[in-house]
Amino acid sequence: MPPIPGVTLHVALARYKNWDRADLTYAELAEGTSVAGVFTQSACASSEVELGREQVKQGRARALIVNAGNSNAFTGYRGREAVDQITAQVADHLGCGTDQVFVSSTGVIGVPLPKDKARAGVAAALVADPCGWEDAARAIGTTDTFAKGARTSAMLGDTRVELVGIIKGSGMIAPDMATMLGYIFTDAAIEPGLLQELLTQANRQTFSCITVDGDTSTSDTVLAFATGAAGNAPLASLDDPGSDAFAAALTDLCRQLAQLVVRDGEGATKFITIRVSGAVSDESAHRIALSVANSPLVKTAIAGEDANWGRVVMAVGKAGEPADRDKLSIAFGGIWTAKNGLPVEGYDEAPVAAHLKGSEIDIAVELGLGEGHATVWTCDLTHGYISINADYRS
């Protein structure tokens, strides 16, 4: 992935958990960098999220600090004190306001972030040699099995702009805005208000369309930073030339990152795409798709490579959305197993069984009620998920 002018990355070892690898990431941003963000809607959000929601309103950023191994959530005033210490330490180093220093934490809930480790870790990061995207992506991970990053680009008039993103997340994934932390960096010149509008729009089509286990984290955060170093005519509204190209590139990048999280779902062996059509509205289709994606019975059937379409029927029916049993149709891998409320006559399970043996699974649900449609991505549920989470704090 290419470097983004105006972004300098560093990592350090703060030892928030018993890991012998970097667990603190510091991104220094050029003056005037625009920022936008989407955050978890959890009622038990961390201090980092609460502060970030307020900071993002002023639209500018000079730094990002990400701590891995400790989410600093459900830690009361001690958690907030740790965040305030970090922002003050970095702001003093850069000579900027604390509201331009963004902090994220991910890991175990309920343990205050140790202020001594935070102070030493930040101090080490501030003087560390610059690093690349892979090192930064690896340092923000927790149960992730690989470093996750993606890139894309867009032409804004005669100017090519680059977009790069890194993300972490493997479990506790059910975005309500996915423990998921994502960071997007671009050299495009774009005003904070438009960047926020486009990120919110992209989020609805990507991060809010994935689920691993149906659990929304206390720490979910996606931040986008635009340094303006590309020198394009600044984008300020949807009517500006190039805004549509940038919006498409941003959405594409977010989709790549979101799908990487699902592909690394804890214990996952299969990537599942669920397409719902014929719903009364797009919103209804989305809720039905999530009902299917979050069903343990559907997910374990896929893990067992069992074409049990009755479990999909169950998940559609429990979603609380309009559905008609006698109009419902279900397909696996493009092969219809049930049509208009009945098993397909002469249905041959062999090709469906062959599809389910693969790692890329497609489920289609046609409701026959309207024009609403939605796509959601998820993974299967295996014994591996239980093993990872049973031992998470040890």
Which residues are catalytic, by number?
179
Q: In what order do the strands lie in the sheet with 271-279?
A: 342-343, 335-339, 329-332, 360-366, 271-279, 372-379
Tokens at 65, concatenated = 């600090």
Tokens at 58, concatenated = 């002023």
* CA atoms of 122 and 271, how far apart (whole Å): 37
Tokens at 177, concatenated = 């805005």
Burial (CB < 10 A; 0-12, 13-18, 19+), residue 18, is exposed
* CA atoms of 210 and 213, how far apart (whole Å): 10
CB atoms within 10 A of CB 60: 18
- Which of 62, 64, 77 minimizes the C-alpha distance to 115? 77
| Helix, strand, or coil (residue 263) | helix
- Chain-centroid distance of CA 226 in Å reads 19
Four-residue CA torsion sign, 280, 256, 260, 26: negative
The percent helix, strand, coil of the chain (3-state, each to 5) is 35, 30, 35
| Helix, strand, or coil (residue 102) | strand
> Exposed e or buried b for every residue in 166-175, given b needs 16+ CB within 10 A?
bbbbbbbbbb
End-to-end CA distance of the chain: 34
Phi, psi (deg, nearest 5) at residue 18 = -80, 65
